[in-house]
Chain A
Amino acid sequence: MFKTLPRKKPVANKLSISEKIVRIFVFILFVVFAFSYAYLVFWCFYTGGRDANEISKNAFAFTEFSFKSYGEVFTLFVDENGNNFFDMLLNSLYFSFLGPLLCIFVSCQLAYVTSKYKFFGAGGIFFIVLVVITLPVYGTQTALYKLLYDIGFTNSRLMILTSLNGFSIYYMYFYAFFKNLSWTYAEAAEIDGANEWQIFYRVMLPQSAAMFGSLFLMLWIQDWNSYQSALIFMPQLPTLSVGIYNFKTTMEYSGGRNDLLYAACFLSILPPLVLYIICNKKMITNVSIGGIKD
């Protein structure tokens, strides 16, 4: 009856020989780099389960594996100040969860009022944020340290208040988002008797949930892994990253269990890794430089 003709490949999709060669070369290069990144994760997991003496002899050999050191991390992974794995985990969760939440929430609120309401200073705030995020300022850690030392915030959980930063790059993401968001829903809610707070929390904020979640996740991963600020401002309240650093430093001087070190390393990369595996598509696609993608 009717025969379907074989589909011709569109001219636009044909690759030239030079492009094919380049693509093969790039593919090989990509495989090498991708393998090295993936191997890093595997190595960390595997080395954490090996015998400490075997690791010292050859860190990359394949020897007997057991989950013993993974169990011992929870009891034997202790830093010089007596903080154990659970203390470090608690500090990491407290600072890396609450900090980004406060920062993103405050940025979102500030971006919302400055993009949707006309008031004296709204344009000024936008301009200041633009200057703050583009102006490279060096050496402020000294003055910040002095301030936190003076008000007693160093080695204190009150350090979390420094996260209430609305004048951040995240303001720009939310500003672009709210600027392009239609005011129709808010008007409808206003007619139904909703006040400004209800409009924000019940109508506008839920619409920014995808961006809020993606930015929170990115900042959470960043804070979870961050060690520099924690090392300066909270050496007595070590996060997991700082704890691992302290454990390794102590180990270099007095010897110790490097199997525990790598088991702790793997356990510390596990939460961001799992979250990334679950949410990587959303994380990568929800955020772009000009705000949310269509």
Chain B
Amino acid sequence: MSFRVRRKSNKKTALRRTLFILSFIAIPVAHFLIFYVYVNFSGILMAFQKPENGQYVFAGFDNFVWVFKRIFEAKSTGGVDDLKLAFINTFKTFLIQIIMFFVGFFVSYFLYKKIKGHKLFRVIFYLPAIISPIVISYFYSEFVNSKFFSTWLQNMFNLPNPVEIFNDEQFANFGIFLQIIWLSFPANMILWSGAFSRIPTSVIEAAKIDGCGWFREIFSIVLPLVWPTFVLLLTTNLATIFAATGNVFLLTGGDFGTQTIANWMFQKVQTTPNPYGSDILNKVSAMGLLLTIISCTIAILVRKFINKKYGEVQY
């Protein structure tokens, strides 16, 4: 009798447990299937389709051909649809972001070493992350268009007139890059400070007693100890190479030779209210598919290379 009751209660517990697990995973799994699996699958299909009479029909490799022609054959115009220039600008932006990645490491290192005023700096350096990019860009636009800055630029390059930086093809990119440098000075501060805080103080103290200088401390002690974070951030950066862009949309709208790939794709979606009215979304999908294949390969290769070349440090 009691055995039957226990078996019944065990069954009940198992059923309740199953229901509990289902109630927690059902919504996120359904969301994942619709908004990740279906969307990505649909994105791949769209790359091989075009709209015709209100529905999508198979278009073969037409969209890919269009993309390749735009990149390799079209003459450089400096306009918003100049994809060749968009790639060049993306790579330039990426290079600056990588440099700023290392700068960000040093900024966080000096905060970790409790430079004078480090508490205040830590609070203020997070401001670019909490203020709207729209507000930041409007302030920045006003600053670089101010008399002070345009005259400074005029004197620096010996120009006959003051420069309107975001209306001048020669200087527009410089303005965009300068903003990236300004805003990403304290890049990844939270992640770095998390990694630095886990370094045992005894290791640093022992090294100091042994006469280790600050330069050696950074490269021979701190860097190897935060290596997992370093690799993670670097590979994440490398994997998102084609997403590299400044606030191009807000500062120039992609004009005056400042277009980047990420901004071009965004602008195309933003300016296409009806996905069945034009085939531009299919072209963007084709571009997206190509970039995904390239960047996934880069991410896997870089991670393999780094892990093979440099082992992780256990502490």
- Interface, chain A (partner B; CB < 8 A): 11-13, 16, 18-19, 22-23, 26-27, 30-31, 33-34, 36-38, 40-41, 43-44, 58-60, 106-107, 109-110, 112-114, 117, 119, 121, 125, 128, 132, 134-147, 149, 161-162, 164-167, 195-197, 221, 224-225, 227-228, 231-232, 241, 244-245, 248, 261-262, 265, 268-269, 272-273, 276, 280, 284, 287-290, 293
Contacts and interface: CB of A to CB of B under 8 A. Distances in A.
Contacts of B40: 137, 140, 143
B282 to A, nearest CB: 8
A144 B39 contact: yes
A166 B24 CA distance: 10
A284 B126 contact: yes
Contacts of A245: 134, 250
Given A40-B127, A165-B28, A289-B194, A117 B17 contact: yes
Interface string B206-248: 0011000111000000000000010010011001101100000
B275 A146 contact: yes
A164 B116 CA distance: 44
Contacts of A142: 43, 46, 269, 275, 281-282, 284-285, 288
A41 B127 contact: yes
B254 to A, nearest CB: 14
Contact of B16 (A195, A221, A231, A265): A195
A136 B288 CA distance: 10
Given A138-B288, A141-B266, A284-B126, 14 more contacts: A38-B124, A40-B131, A58-B147, A60-B143, A138-B291, A139-B43, A141-B284, A142-B288, A145-B272, A147-B38, A165-B28, A269-B132, A273-B131, A288-B190
B39 A59 contact: no
B36 interface: yes
Contacts of A232: 266, 269-270
A144 B272 CA distance: 13
A284 B42 contact: no
B239 A134 contact: yes
B115 A27 contact: yes
Interface residues of B, number: 98
A136 B299 contact: yes
Contacts of B274: 149
A38 to B, nearest CB: 6
A36 B182 contact: yes
A56 to B, nearest CB: 11
B3 interface: no
A109 B289 contact: no
Q: 8 closest pairs, A vs B, by CB?
A: A139-B288, A166-B28, A288-B194, A143-B43, A12-B208, A196-B20, A225-B132, A143-B42
Given A16-B214, A128-B32, A227 B133 contact: yes
B205 interface: yes
Nearest to A248: B138
A164 B32 CA distance: 9
B27 interface: yes
A196 B130 contact: no
Contacts of A143: 39-40, 42-43, 46, 285
Contact of A134 (B147, B148, B209, B299): B299
B194 A139 contact: no
Contact of B214 (A18, A40, A139, A261): A18
26 contacts: A23-B115, A33-B185, A33-B186, A40-B127, A40-B131, A44-B135, A109-B28, A113-B25, A114-B25, A119-B18, A134-B239, A136-B242, A138-B291, A139-B285, A141-B265, A142-B43, A142-B284, A145-B272, A146-B42, A146-B275, A149-B275, A166-B31, A225-B130, A232-B266, A269-B130, A293-B194
A26 B204 CA distance: 21
Contacts of A19: 213-214
B214 A138 contact: no
A256 B83 CA distance: 34
Contacts of A117: 17, 21
Given A38-B124, A59-B146, A269-B132, A145 B195 contact: no
A165 B27 CA distance: 8
Nearest to B286: A139
A37 B281 contact: no
B287 interface: yes
Contact of A132 (B36, B250, B287): B36
B209 A11 contact: yes
Contacts of B296: 135-136
B270 A244 contact: no
A199 B166 CA distance: 58
Contact of B21 (A37, A60, A119, A284): A119
